Amino acid sequence: MSFNQFRLSSDILKGLKDVKIESPSPLQKKIFKAVQEGSDLVINTSTDDKPEVGYLINLLNDIAKTDRRQGTKGIILAPDSERAKFLDEWIWAIGYHASIESACITSDGNPKEQLNALSAGPVVVVATPEELSGLLEDGKIVFREVQQLIVDQAEKVQNWNAVETVSTRIISKCQRIFTAAKDSKDLREAEDKLLTEPQLVTLSKKSPPADKPKEEKKPEITKDLTQYYINVPPRSKISTLMAHLDNNKSDTVVIFTASRRTADRLYKILRKSNRRAVSIHDQLAKDTFEERFNRFTSGDVQHLIIGDMTAKDLPLEHATQVINYDVPEEVEEYKLRAELVGDGKATRILSLVSKQDRGDIQVICKSLGYAPEEVPLPKSVKDKISSNKKGKRNGSKRDKSKNQKSGKGKKRGSKRQESKKQHGLPRPTFDQLEGGRTGKKKEEKGLVGFFKKLFS
């Protein structure tokens, strides 16, 4: 399970990578989804999971996706200065690439400077309740755009009157969230005053025995699975795909590509040829993603093109076949795509193997213990290649004949060839050739290379 399924902005994903958080825990996943529903929440944090991962990335992701950064969108109240500073640093680290900054209000700061910072309308405020409530009273400040008020570690809060003062200064429609490791009378009274029909977010108490951990089911490829591949000549992958679709016009097809750029490119080509298709990738807005995905699952369109996403995160229910436009680099991902077929959600899987894909398909075949069945190149593609070769031969004969008759061009031609050898010609990228691979960049060494790698 990765954060890709949450459709986070690329900047927030980079921030999570910087702090070495690769995937959410079960509790963090539940928190993220519950926050998206918009109701008031009480989050039980009795486990060791860090709840801030769940509620913080939701808040920061919403901020990262908006162009308007004026006005405070979130207020986080911490029980003490140490916790407030910790959360402030978290926000800076995760929001670094999205240029998200927060104001930290604690007893350690200068009240005048903190009041000026609040008046400037920071997008996120992290504070202890007493200090923030006092500054709001002194500056007569109200919040008109706050979307979330979060009371972190609520069981440790000593001054609930200060929390109430902060709450009354928010005049916008606001979701209120309490996180707490344990229940108490004071906490229940605060919930009754400040929360409206709160939803409880907690993990199930039932868990597998410690000596018998539940093993995650690994994807398997069934023996009766129909697997094919086509060896694709250079610069013929798109024409091979289109010819294959022409030969299977009634099929509903899922097409996996290695990049969002390739997915969008194929979508335009399919639409231009009057095929019913949609393309999806993890950077789409939630509503757009669901609208396009539902068009395929409902049968409104015939082809679903997927860019740079794992099959594990796609709740597919049906497809006649799965096509690997780009062969996955990981054997596990190939198995996940094949599992769509093995579960009866599709009837066959086909891989288009170009020169750039041969290394990956060899690794997959070695892991499986056998090779998928090769099918011939579509006849229309063969004819096109043959016609191009014939045209080149005829063209070269005509050029040679002209040069012999005129006696011209030999020296000039040799000069042009010599110039090409000396200076070299720009080589097309893998994207230009096949659409899915980008090649490896030269790695920079030293301190500059370290920071580029850290924040890339």
Distance CA(438)–CA(326), nearest Å, equals 12
Q: Which two tokens stand for residue 15?
A: 């921030």
Q: Report the percent of the chain where pLDDT is more than 90.
A: 31
Is pTM beyond 0.85 here? Answer: no
Q: Which CATH architecture has domain 3-201?
A: 3-Layer(aba) Sandwich (3.40)
Instruction: Encode pLDDT of 386-426 as tens digits.
Output: 888 777 666 666 665 655 555 554 454 454 454 444 444 34
Give the mean pLDDT of 174-191: 88
Q: Which residues contact 367 (CB under 8 A, 6 or more apart)?
A: 331
Residue 422: what pLDDT? Answer: 44
SS (H, E, C) the chain: CCHHHHCCCHHHHHHHHHCCCCCCCHHHHHHHHHHHHCCCEEEECCCCCCHHHHHHHHHHHHHHCCCCCCCCCEEEECCCHHHHHHHHHHHHHHCCCCCCCEEEECCCCCHHHHHHHHHCCCCEEEECHHHHHHHHHHHCCCECCCCEEEECCHHHCCCHHHHHHHHHCECCCCEEEEEECCCCHHHHHHHHHHCCCCEEECCCCCCCCCCCCCCCCCCCCCCCCCEEEEECCCCCHHHHHHHHHHHCCCCCEEEEECCHHHHHHHHHHHHHCCCCEEEEECCCCHHHHHHHHHHHHCCCCCEEEEECCCHHHCCCCCCCEEEECCCCCCHHHHHHHHHHHHCCCCCEEEEEECHHHHHHHHHHHHHHCCCCEECCCCHHHHHHHHHHHHHHHHHHHHHHHHHHHHCCCHHHHHHHHHHHHHHCCCCCCHHHHCCCCCCCCCCCCHHHHHHHHHCC
Residue 449: what pLDDT? Answer: 54
Do 325 and 265 form a contact (C-beta atoms < 8 A)? no
* Res 210 pLDDT > 60: no
Instruction: Encode pLDDT of 44-81 as tens digits.
Output: 887 656 878 888 888 898 898 887 777 899 999 999 99
Residue 125: how many other CB atoms lie within 10 Å: 27
Distance CA(267)–CA(277), nearest Å, equals 7
Distance CA(193)–CA(28), nearest Å, equals 26
Residue 30: what pLDDT? Answer: 84
* Res 429 pLDDT > 50: no
Give the mean pLDDT of 333-353: 73
Which residues does residue 150 pair with via DSSP β-bridges, in sequence order? 76, 177
Least confident of 53-62, 115-124, 140-149: 53-62
3-201 and 227-380: identical CATH topology: yes
For the chain, what are the domain ranges? 3-201, 227-380
Give the model's confidence band at 228: pLDDT under 50 very low, under 70 low, under 90 confident, else very high.
confident
* Res 430 pLDDT > 50: no
**Strands of 253-257's sheet, edge to edge?**
277-281, 303-307, 253-257, 321-324, 348-353, 227-231, 373-374
Highest mean pLDDT: which of 47-61, 161-175, 429-443?
A: 161-175
Q: Which residues contact 153 (CB under 8 A, 6 or more apart)?
A: 45, 78, 79, 83, 179, 180, 181
Indicate if the alpha-carbon torsion angle 81, 83, 86, 91 is positive or negative: negative
* Res 219 pLDDT > 60: no
Do 270 and 320 form a contact (C-beta atoms < 8 A)? no
Residue 114: what pLDDT? Answer: 92
Decide which of 3.40.50.10470, 3.40.50.2000, 3.40.50.300, 3.40.50.12780 is the CATH code for 227-380: 3.40.50.300
